[in-house]
Amino acid sequence: MAKILEVKGLTKQYDKVLAADKVSFDIEEGEIFALIGPNGAGKTTTIRMISTLLIPTDGDAVIAGNSVVKHPEKIREDITYLPDEAGAYKNMTGIKYLRFMAGLFTSDIEKINAYVERAKNMCGLGDRLNDKIGTYSRGMARKLLLSRAVMTKPKLAILDEPTSGLDVLNAIEIRKMIKKLAAEEKMSFLLSSHNMLEIEFVSDRVGIIAKGHLMVTGKPEELKERYGASNLEEVFERVVKNSEVH
C-alpha cells in the first residue's frame, strides 16, 4: 500500500511548553490511524501541524508527496480537517453550508453539486438540511460536519475527536461511516481521541501519545498482546509507566 502521510520528527515548541516532541508515524492509503492519549498529550498540536494550521518548530510531514512546511497550500487540496468541537455558521442552512464548503475546494459547479449530493446522502439529515444549523442538535451538527469533511474524497481526512460529546448511537453511526469510507473508497483517516476504548473499534493502527511524545504505534491487537493488556487503556497505562521507569 502507498503511504499517504509520512510524519518525520514533528516538533512544536511554545514559549515554555514542548507540545509535540519529534513525533513520527505514517499512514497508508485506506488506513485509519488514531492518535490516542489524555487531554494535553499533544494530539491536537500534532494534528494541527499536519493540517497546516500550526507551523512546526522542527520536522516535517509529507502528504501525497507535498511537505506541510514547504507547500502548505498544496497540502490543503488533499486534506480535510474537522476540529474538535467544531461549530458551523449557525445562521446558514445545512445545505448552504455544504455548498459553501464545496465551493472552497472547486470552482466547477458540477463538482460542487456532486460533493453536496454525496454529503446529503451521507449525513442522512434529509429535509432538516434546509433548516438553519443553529437549530440542529449536537449529533446532527456533527454528522453534517463529518459529511462535509469527507464529501470531497480527500486523500487524508483529519478528524479531531470525531465523536466527542455524542451519544452512543450517534457515535456508533459515525464510526461505521468512517470504517465504510476507508474500506470502500480507500480514504485515509487520521483520528484523535482520548476515548481509547472507542478508538480500538474503529482504527487499524494507533499511536499512543503522552506529554508530547509518541510512545508507541501499532495495531490494537498487537499492542494488547505486546503489553499483556485486555484493552488500549491498559496498554496506555503500561506504556506510560514503562517510559517513567526508563
Partner 1 sequence: MKFINLLKKELSEIITVQMIATMGVLIVVFMMMGNLMSGAIDSVVEDATNPKINICDLDDTELTDSLINGLKDAGAEITEISVNSDNYAAVLKENKIKNLIIIPDGFTESVENKEKPKLISVSKMESAATLANITNDNSGAASFINNCVTNIVAQQTGMSMEDIDLITNPIEVDENTVVADKTANISISTITAKLASQSSMLPIVLFVLIMLTSQSLITSVSNEKIDKTLETLLSAPVSRVSIITAKMLAAAIAALLNAVVMMVGFLVFMKDITNGVTEQLGEVVGESLSVDKALDVLGLNLSVGQYILVGIQFFVTMMICLSVSIILGSLVNDAKSAQTAILPITIIVMFPYVITLLTDVNALSTVPRILINAIPFTHSFTAMSNLMFGNVKMFAIGLGYQILVFAVCLFIALKLFKSDKILTLSLNFGKKKKKVQTED
What's the residue count for the chain? 246
**Which phi and psi angles does 245 have, rounded to 5°?**
-65, -45
Q: Which residues in 99-158 contact partner 1 (CB under 8 A)?
A: 100-101, 103-105, 107, 158
Q: Do the beta carbons of residue 68 and residue 56 sit within 8 Å?
A: yes
- Smallest distance from the beta carbon of 228 to partner 1, in angstroms? 28
Residue 68 DSSP SS3? coil
Amino acid (one-letter) located at 44: T
Binding test (CB under 8 A) with partner 1, winner from 1, 2, 55, 197: 55
Region of 93-101, 124-132, 170-178, 232-240 interacting with partner 1 (CB under 8 A) = 93-101
Residue 89 DSSP SS3? coil
Binding test (CB under 8 A) with partner 1, winner from 2, 89, 113, 183: 89
Shorter beta-carbon distance to partner 1: residue 39 or 230: 39
Q: Which residues in 172-201 contact partner 1 (CB under 8 A)?
A: 192, 194
Residue 3 DSSP SS3? strand
Question: Which grid coordinates belong to 30?
Answer: 485506506
Instruction: Identify the helix (H) or strand (E) that includes residue 75.
Output: helix 72-78
Q: With binding defined as CB under 8 A, does residue 165 bind partner 1? A: no
Q: In what order do the strands lie in the sheet with 79-82?
A: 79-82, 156-160, 188-193, 32-36, 205-210, 213-218
- Smallest distance from the beta carbon of 143 to partner 1, in angstroms? 16
CA atoms of 165 and 183, how far apart (whole Å): 26
- Smallest distance from the beta carbon of 187 to partner 1, in angstroms? 17
Number of residues that bind partner 1 (CB under 8 A): 45
Q: Which residues in 7-46 contact partner 1 (CB under 8 A)?
A: 14-15, 17, 19, 37, 39-45
Interacting residues toward partner 1 by CB under 8 A: 14-15, 17, 19, 37, 39-45, 48, 51-55, 73, 76-77, 79-92, 96, 100-101, 103-105, 107, 158, 192, 194
